[in-house]
Structure 1
Amino acid sequence: MFEFSVLSGSDVMAIMAGREKDVIACVRDAYLTHEAGDSVNPDSYFLRFPEKPDSRIIALPAHLGGTTDVAGIKWIASFPRNVESGLPRASAVLVLNDYTTGYPFALLEAAGISAARTAASAALAATTLSHGVPASIGVLGGGVIARTICRYLHHAGIPLTDVRCHDIDEPSARTLADHLSTEYEAASRTASADEALDCDLVVLATTALRPHISADRVLRPGQLILNVSLRDLAPELLLTADNVLDDVDHCMKADTSPHLAEQLTGNRDFVTGTLAQVLTGQVRTNPRRATVFSPFGLGVLDLAVGHYVHGQAAAEGLLRTIPDFFGETSRW
């Protein structure tokens, strides 16, 4: 009842290694539970800093029902300038709360969980929305998210036969390409932005604050764009494609490309539907158009993956319990 435990990042990563398909299944179930209305996923809260406009710390509270039935909050910092010092851009913790009593029962280091749920979402979208097996993959961004997405694409059965890596920091692109070649025997190389954007499957995993892929670009029929970083595409491009989102209301904020498209048109008619609606057959995409998947990132996904990791850690005896964490355990 009053047990509180902590799980380190190294243990989290060890638990998830080799269980990528299980994590994808967790994310799939969470999307379907959320679509069914058995969740609470309020707006994320952004703590911003006037002197650091590119940095933020975000609170994502949520409750996920279904078989998970857990509440909690992810507190994740994104400081892009960390990479100049060789540090990861993001750091995070995840608190899990018992739904019956509200008491927190676990604290997990969550940078890996956050990256995994993002990558699992991308891999799920790739297998669900692709019209045929993509022969080429273009990756814009050479950081942790890009690396993790490629790992999950591999485990989801997407062949890494032609991977073109691009980053404005060329050494980052080269490191990603070398990693994919070594880890998965992928045919990967560095490439220009145009070469990467011309692929059948395009992964956008940058830290862009505003669109840099211009409205003049033509998206090919059948092309799938995983718009993970949300702000790379000019809003006009979305109007030429089918648009699948994780949650419509959540995506229409914070100057994401869908939000800019809504402002441009004054409506949401360009939205095709949600990934869950595609999974359940309520919505179909048109193979004669490109498809853009824009996931704002839902707190329920962090809960789903975090709850799964916590359960595995408990079964393997990896949880570090803190005795007497709660100061009072009775009213009187």
Structure 2
Amino acid sequence: MSAVTMIPTADTVPTTAPTGTTIDMLYLDEPQMIAAGVKDMESCMEVMEEVLVLVAEGDYRMAGNSANSHGAQISFPATSPFPTMPVDASDRRFMAMAAYLGGRFDTAGVKWYGSNVDNRDKGLPRSIHLIVLNDKETGAPFAIMSGNLESAYRTAAVPGAAAKKLAPVDAARLGIIGPGAMNKSALHAMTLARPSLTDIVIHGRRRSTSESFADYVRAHYPQFTTIEISDTVEGAVSDCDIVSEAVTGLVGSENYPYIDGDWIKPGAFLSLPANLRMDKDYTLSGRARLLVDAKKIYEAWAEEYPAPSHETAFGMIGLYWQDLIDDGALDESRVVNIGDVFSGKAPGREFDDQPILFSVGGMGVEDVAWGKTVYENAVQAGLGTALNLWKTPDLA
């Protein structure tokens, strides 16, 4: 059970709208987030499907002039004359992902995190997340919460929801490319989406990380009766019904893992939330269905970063598709919002056995939705610590 510093009562639980001038907040640490259901992947997948339909319909706002920016990022130079300033390194940045989401969520919020791949040498996650939720009318914060599990689960729940609808119904073999934390939560989502999975093949840049992931599978997922480690990406793609690729690192296609379209099994579902390189000819051929979490976030990235954005900004395959659209090589109608598939406005496949390539960029609206859901669970369960911002503001 979570260690609760103070159990909120009816008088102390913050509401989304402050009464009078008093502003109270609910703080949830990681154990309290767990007790409030942040790791309930099945529920998270249902929430993410709802979110993505709202996004496809336009009932949301995010940062930037287009209201579709992934967030505001602080990055660092390769060298600096200032001795205390950090310098550029793999995954080193600070990011604020602000969003408002409508529908029943009707809440604004922000996920703020710092990231440095060297954290792993200190026993820390690569990124350390904090989430703040705010009342839409006054702007008053009503929740502050630990964000790492929230972020990991909502990230995996998005392709999990898509796989539940679009992966082969009798999927048996799962390919894992990038055996890290992101694919641990993805593994949870995919086994819920397709309980029929029995075989798993794992590819990592280091044999040791693949072996560690295999040990994790043995300990937590006994339904996998066959566990293989592949020295190649091809081995984790060929003959797999579902593939989850989650490799982060340096920008530039020479640093991205490569998947050849000829390796992809007919009808396979590929979850692609990270850096990836694929053939232009395969992309343009129509052999695979090109789905994204939200087309407009890739358009916003392409506006914010010089072309080719896939080379200079971020390695998600959806940004490569946007580069091709901007070049006039790919018809923009070929890229489809998953929310339109969920709502029935667009087909999942154009023909039987068409592979699905699903690009996942990640959006602050997802953090708002899952954060709000977990907050409501916490209030109902009496979890968290009530914090007061002020009784009366000094500078009203």
Measure the CA separation in 2 of the matches of 1:314 and 1:87: 29
Measure the CA separation in 2 of the matches of 1:290 and 1:160: 18
Q: Deviations over 1:276-303 (max 9, x none)?
A: 1111122221334321000111111111
Does the 8 A contact of 1:196 with 1:202 survive in 2?
yes
Greater RCO structure (CA 8 Å; 6+ sep): 2
Indicate the residue corresponding to 1:303 in structure 2. Answer: 368
Task: Compute the TM-score of the two structures, normalised by the length of structure 2.
Answer: 0.77
User: Per the alignment, do residues 306 and 315 of structure 1 end up closer, same or farther by CA in structure 2, a change over 3 Å counting?
Assistant: same
Question: In the TM superposition, what are the counterparts of 1:175-194 in structure 2 within 5 Å?
Answer: 175-185=212-222, 186-187=224-225, 188-192=227-231, 193-194=233-234
TM superposition shift of 1:99: 1.0
Question: In the TM superposition, what are the counterparts of 1:8-19 in structure 2 within 5 Å?
Answer: 8-16=29-37, 19=40
Indicate the residue corresponding to 1:239 in structure 2. Answer: 284
| Structure of higher CA gyration radius | 2
Three-state SS of the structure 1 residue aligned to 2:276 is coil
Percent identity of paired positions between Structure 1 and Structure 2:
24
TM superposition shift of 1:327: 6.8
Q: Deviations over 1:3-62 (max 9, x none)?
A: 112110122123226622211111111111222222112302222122224222221110
Indicate the residue corresponding to 1:282 in structure 2. Answer: 345
Does the 8 A contact of 2:261 with 2:278 survive in 1?
no
Indicate the residue corresponding to 2:313 in structure 1. Answer: none
User: Per the alignment, do residues 120 and 94 of structure 1 end up closer, same or farther by CA in structure 2, a change over 3 Å counting?
Assistant: same
Indicate the residue corresponding to 2:53 in structure 1. Answer: 32
User: Per the alignment, do residues 3 and 85 of structure 1 end up closer, same or farther by CA in structure 2, a change over 3 Å counting?
Assistant: closer
Matching of residue 269 in structure 1 with residue 331 in structure 2: yes
> How many residues end up aligned between the 2 structures?
330
TM superposition shift of 1:71: 0.2
**Which 5+ residue runs of structure 1 have no aligned equivalent?**
none
Indicate the residue corresponding to 2:72 in structure 1. Answer: 45
1:156 is aligned, of 174, 185, 193, to 193
Three-state SS of the structure 1 residue aligned to 2:179 is coil
Indicate the residue corresponding to 2:390 in structure 1. Answer: 326
2:235 is aligned, of 191, 195, 200, to 195
Moved more, 78-87 or 239-248: 78-87
Please report the RMSD computed on the Cα atoms of aligned residues, expressed in angstroms. Answer: 2.2
Matched residue type, 1:203: S
Three-state SS of the structure 2 residue aligned to 1:322 is strand
Matched residue type, 1:9: E
**Which 5+ residue runs of structure 2 have no aligned equivalent?**
1-17, 64-68, 78-86, 302-308, 311-315
Does the 8 A contact of 1:140 with 1:204 survive in 2?
yes
Q: Deviations over 1:133-187 (max 9, x none)?
A: 3221001111111001111222334433011111112222112111112212023
TM superposition shift of 1:216: 7.0
Moved more, 83-92 or 243-252: 83-92
1:123 is aligned, of 160, 163, 175, to 160
Moved more, 263-272 or 79-88: 263-272
User: Per the alignment, do residues 235 and 158 of structure 1 end up closer, same or farther by CA in structure 2, a change over 3 Å counting?
Assistant: farther
Does the 8 A contact of 2:167 with 2:269 survive in 1?
yes
Measure the CA separation in 2 of the matches of 1:129 and 1:272: 16
Matching of residue 144 in structure 1 with residue 181 in structure 2: yes
Measure the CA separation in 2 of the matches of 1:216 and 1:277: 25
Indicate the residue corresponding to 1:97 in structure 2. Answer: 134
TM superposition shift of 1:218: 4.0
Does the 8 A contact of 1:82 with 1:89 survive in 2?
yes
Three-state SS of the structure 2 residue aligned to 1:189 is strand
Three-state SS of the structure 2 residue aligned to 1:262 is helix
TM superposition shift of 1:330: 7.7
User: Per the alignment, do residues 248 and 53 of structure 1 end up closer, same or farther by CA in structure 2, a change over 3 Å counting?
Assistant: farther
User: Per the alignment, do residues 17 and 259 of structure 1 end up closer, same or farther by CA in structure 2, a change over 3 Å counting?
Assistant: closer
User: Per the alignment, do residues 243 and 147 of structure 1 end up closer, same or farther by CA in structure 2, a change over 3 Å counting?
Assistant: same
Does the 8 A contact of 2:59 with 2:102 survive in 1?
yes
Moved more, 135-144 or 52-61: 52-61
1:173 is aligned, of 210, 222, 230, to 210
Measure the CA separation in 2 of the matches of 1:17 and 1:117: 9
Does the 8 A contact of 2:298 with 2:322 survive in 1?
no
Measure the CA separation in 2 of the matches of 1:212 and 1:21: 29
Question: In the TM superposition, what are the counterparts of 1:56-95 in structure 2 within 5 Å?
Answer: 56-95=93-132
Matched residue type, 1:182: A
Measure the CA separation in 1 of the matches of 2:163 and 2:279: 22
